[in-house]
Structure formats: C-alpha cells, structure tokens
Amino acid sequence: MQRTHSRHPAAWWGQFQEVTDRFDAALVTEALADEIIPKIGSPLLRREAEIASEVVVRHLNRIASPELAERAAKATDRLVATVKRLTERSTSEDSRTLEALALCSALQGRWADAASEAEPFVGTAPLLKAFVGALRLERFDMALTVKLLRAGQGPAKAVQTGLEVGKYGWWPAWLLTIVSERAMAGTLDRRTITAMDQCAYAELTPAQARVARKLLSGDPTLVDASAYRLEALGEATAATKLRKGDLSAVALAARLIPL
C-alpha cells in the first residue's frame, strides 16, 4: 500500500497521555480500531481483528473483570500470532500485515506506537480526533485543539490552549475569532485572555466590539485617539496603560466610544 500521509514519531503521540491522568484507554483503543480495521485487506484477518478488538474494548470498559481480562489477553495473543505467521511467510513488506501490526500495538496498550504505525495509511486527522477525544477533559475546546495540532503545534501546547479557551465558551463570536487567530499564530497568552475576558464582561455593542478588536490588534492611530479620550474623561492611568500596550485598558476604552 502506498503511503501518502506524513508520520509523527511515537514519542509525539505519547505526549497526549502526559497531559491528563484521565486518558480513556477504552475510547482510544476503540477509535483506533475503527480507523485501522477497515484498512485490513484480508477478510479473514479483518474478521479476527474485529473479534479481538471487541473483546479488548469490552475488557477496558470493565477493567476489574478478571474473566474479560483473560479473554482479552487470549484474543490479542491469537491475533499477534496470526500476524507474526503472515509476516514470517512474506519475503517482502506485506501490506496485509502493516495494518494488523498497528492494531496489535493498540490492543496491547501501545497507543502511541499504534498511531505512528497507522498514520501513513489512516491519515493524521482521524488519529488526532481519537487521541484528543480520549483526554476526557472538561470545559475543553476540542475543535480548536485539533485545529492547532493540524497546523503543526505540539500536543502539550495545543491541549493547554484548548483548556484555557474552553473556560470561555460563553464569549461572543468576535472574541472567539480573535482567540482562534492568536492561537494559530502562537501569540495567545494569559495577558491577552484576561483582556478579552474583560471585554466579554463589558457587554460591548457591535460598534464598541469593532473598536476593541482594533485596539487588541494594536492599531496605533486608534490607540492614540482612544488614549486622548481616556485622558479627557479623567482616566489618565488607563490612557498610559493603553499607550504602553497594556491590554487591560481595552475594555474601558471601547466602552467610552460614543453610542
């Protein structure tokens, strides 16, 4: 099978497990199996892979059951042995076993290895969704995280951004757009998030929101004009902060725009 997709090393995929202690083994195993099994060309091997996957996922969902643990181990060992026999009989790289080998890694709990092995024939996007979904994080912007990962950001940073932004899902659309833009550019920091949160609480009108957006982008002409307006209204401290690039003054400056 021709490999048309790029490949991340297992260490890269392994970072997902490091960002949370709630990584869902059953969910990621099932998701990987769903992506890999349809790629197995041999009907008999594919059926054996389906049986093994079903048993292993059932065990992972009921991890305390010794009976299921034994059945899962036997089913996995049987599949591994089958793939090993096929590999030994082949005189060259056998496309029938590449997919099955990746599945074996997943069923043995080596999900990072499985993702790295499967990425060339599955593609990156489905695997990212599988790993991000398995994080089981609350108040988490999964869509933004996947977008950042696909744009080339590392798992640790992308997941952290998703956690930060996920707390503010109630923000108006114009602020969420800025968040996404800055996150993609790698310029989203705590100072910016705090300033945007103040803008959200200020409940700006559409006209004030447009001004706030320009102020957040550092529009020099508007910053200067807004600073003069703040001074005229007795807000000299806020005016100084705005001129120095302190985003904490943006919400106040935007609120003072005449309606």
Based on the fold, state whether residues 213 and 165 are members of the same structural domain: yes
For 35-46, letters b (16+ CB in 10 Å) and e give bbbebbebeebb
Element (H, E) at 121: helix 111-122
Based on the fold, state whether residues 53 and 109 are members of the same structural domain: yes
pLDDT exceeding 70 applies to what percent of the chain?
95
More confident residue, 199 or 101: 101
152: in domain: no
Report how far apart, in Å, the C-alpha atoms of 59 and of each of 36, 46, 56 are. Answer: 19, 20, 5
pTM for the full model?
A: 0.74
d(CA 93, CA 24): 33
Task: Supply the DSSP symbol for 40.
Answer: -
In three-state secondary structure terms, 56 is: helix
Q: What is the pLDDT of residue 95?
A: 53
Based on the fold, state whether residues 120 and 175 are members of the same structural domain: no
Range of the domain at 231: 159-255
Based on the fold, state whether residues 125 and 206 are members of the same structural domain: no
Q: What is the pLDDT of residue 2?
A: 44
Domain count, the chain: 2
d(CA 54, CA 63): 14
Q: What is the pLDDT of residue 1?
A: 43
Per-residue pLDDT band at 7 (split at 50, 70, 90): confident
The residue with tokens 């202690």 is 21
pLDDT tens digit sequence for 150-180: 888 889 889 988 888 888 888 888 888 888 8
Q: What is the pLDDT of residue 15?
A: 93
143: in domain: no
Mean pLDDT computed over 103-110 = 97
**163 close to 139: Cβ distance less than 8 angstroms:** yes
141: in domain: no
Helix extents (H) in 123-235: 124-134, 142-150, 155-166, 173-185, 190-201, 206-216, 220-232
d(CA 255, CA 167): 24
Based on the fold, state whether residues 123 and 227 are members of the same structural domain: no
pLDDT tens digit sequence for 171-228: 888 888 888 888 888 888 888 888 888 888 888 888 888 888 888 888 889 889 988 8
Q: What is the pLDDT of residue 83?
A: 92
Angle subtended at Cα 229 by Cα 227 and Cα 230, rounded to the nearest 5 degrees:
65
pLDDT tens digit sequence for 67-93: 999 999 999 999 999 999 888 776 555
Asked if pLDDT for residue 259 goes beyond 60, the answer is no
Asked if pLDDT for residue 22 goes beyond 70, the answer is yes
Based on the fold, state whether residues 20 and 90 are members of the same structural domain: yes
Asked if pLDDT for residue 4 goes beyond 60, the answer is no
pLDDT tens digit sequence for 31-66: 999 999 999 988 999 999 999 999 999 999 999 999
